[in-house]
Amino acid sequence: MAMEEEMAEPYSGWRLFFDGKVNYQGSGIGAVLISKTGQHYPMAVKIDFRWTNNMAEYEACILGLRMALDKNIQELLVIRDSDFLINQMKGNWATKNVKILPYVNMSQRLCGRFKSIDFRHTPRAQNEFADTLATIASMIQHPESARINLLEITLREEQAHCAYVEAKLDGQPWYVDIKAYLEKGEYPLESSANQKKIIRRLANGFFLNKEVLYKRTPELRLLRCVDAEEATKLLKEVHARTCGPHMNGFVLTKKILRTRYYWMTMEHDSCKFMQKCHQCQIHGDLIKVPPTELHAMSSPWPFVAWGMDVIAPVEPPVSNGDHFILVVIDYFTK
């Protein structure tokens, strides 16, 4: 076994992150195996017996080591944001607690089954995934007679109301299903009852005149529906050509609406188009607002996060003869 103090260089093999949590709602551990290609294999376990924080560290470590052995992994890098377990596994720190000794022996036996295993220390910010799994496992009230399937986490880059109106992969416009329902009363093949209900509800706001589909507005105006290709031409024309004052995304959307055109993602597309305009980026006003919203995080109880520093020596000594000054800081917000 080898150990390095910090994650100073990237590692191309299998990696293991783990963490344990103990709070008033229960106890839980989490482990994440990351393959050479970056595939994540998470595991969270809720513990139904009393334990300490140090026991939680070893429970999570043993869980991750067993996951790696089940996948026949021969070389593994174990990463943790605490020096306690790493130094005890290496033998730098002696283990005197009788509750921890069985965990140390079990962990060392599991490590001996690997061809190569290293231990490294990492900042807490790089161990957030395993920390989140442990927190979820500790706080959830798991029913004894039920099974909870694995969580599926996806990355969504657009708002929810824009997700279902993307351009179809078959080259058809976004309104083809609405137009087919108004024209023939037909639904898409293999559509569920809920999808049919959504199409009927959306069709109430549209009007079909021969081959042209229009959108009804609250003012009883009719806006001509356009596909993706026509929408791109409209954005270029209204933003920078004949009508081109290079307005922002929301003003661009309102101006297109006044020209009696419509598509369902026009506000989102207008903002994206404006952000890609080269002249807008050069001549636009400087935005001093931070890119992400700032949230004040208050501590749940006093001294949940604190720090201490020493000022020494003080020469000449103070009136009462003290040579050292201890400064303790309680971090109550972030």
**Do 56 and 171 sit in the same domain of this protein?**
no
- In terms of domains, do 274 and 227 share one? yes
In a domain, 175, yes or no: yes
Cβ-based neighbour number of residue 53 at 10 Å: 12
Q: Does 144 map to a domain?
A: no
Residue 152: inside a domain: no
Q: Judge whether 155 lies within some domain.
A: no
Whether residues 11 and 128 share a domain: the answer is yes
- What phi and psi values does residue 44 have, to the nearest 5 degrees? -130, 140
In-domain check, residue 289? no
Q: Is the dihedral of CA 248, 249, 254, 258 positive or negative?
A: positive
- Express each pLDDT in 57-112 by its tens digit: 888 888 888 888 888 888 888 887 777 777 777 777 777 777 778 888 888 888 88
45 Cβ neighbours under 8 A, 6+ residues apart:
28, 29, 30, 59, 63, 137
Distance from C-alpha of 328 to C-alpha of 331, rounded to nearest angstrom: 10
Residue 302: strand, helix, or coil: coil
What DSSP letter does each residue of 143-212 carry, written as one string?
Answer: -TT--PPPP------S-HHHHTTSPPTTS--TTHHHHHHHHH----TT--HHHHHHHHHHHTTEEEETTE
Does residue 234 lie in a domain region?
A: yes
25 plus 123 within the same structural domain: yes
Residues 304 and 256 both lie in one domain = no
pLDDT score, position 2: 37
Q: Distance between CA 103 and CA 93 in Å, rounded?
A: 15
257 shares its domain with 314: no
Same domain, 135 and 76: yes
CA atoms within 13 Å, Cβ hemisphere of 297: 6
- What pLDDT, on the 0 to 100 scale, is given for residue 170? 63
> Phi, psi (5° rounding) for residue 118?
-120, 155
Do 251 and 331 have their domain in common? no
For residues 181 and 199, give the distance between their C-alpha atoms in angstroms, rounded to a whole number.
Answer: 8
Query: Domain with 265 in it: what CATH number?
Result: 1.10.340.70
Q: Which domain holds residue 227?
A: 160-283
- Segments of the chain scoring below 50 in pLDDT: 1-8, 161-166
Indicate if 63 and 128 belong to the same structural domain.
Answer: yes
CATH of the domain at 28: 3.30.420.10
Residue 127 is encoded by which pair of tokens? 């161990």
Residue with the two structure tokens 């807490």: 124
Q: How far is the C-alpha of 256 from the C-alpha of 242, rounded, in Å?
A: 13
In the chain, the amino acid numbered 11 is Y
Q: Report the domain count for the chain.
A: 3
User: In this structure, is residue 153 part of a structural domain?
Assistant: no
In this structure, the answer to whether residues 7 and 134 fall within a common structural domain is: yes
Residue 238: φ, ψ to 5°: -75, -35
Residues ≥6 apart with Cβ < 8 Å to 285? none
Structure tokens of 106? 């079990």
User: Is residue 137 within 8 Å of 44, Cβ to Cβ?
Assistant: yes
| Beta strands 325-330; 306-311: pairing state | antiparallel
Residue 146 lies in a domain: no
In this structure, are 303 and 225 located in the same domain? no
Query: What gap in Å lies between CA 244 and CA 252, rounded to an integer?
Result: 10
With a CB cutoff of 8 Å and minimum separation 6, the contacts of 300 are none
- Do 38 and 135 lie in one domain? The reply is yes
Q: How far apart are CA 39 and CA 77, in angstroms?
A: 15
**Which DSSP string corresponds to 204-247?**
TTEEEETTEEEEE-TTS-EEEE--HHHHHHHHHHHHHSTT----
Tokens describing residue 52: 């300490």
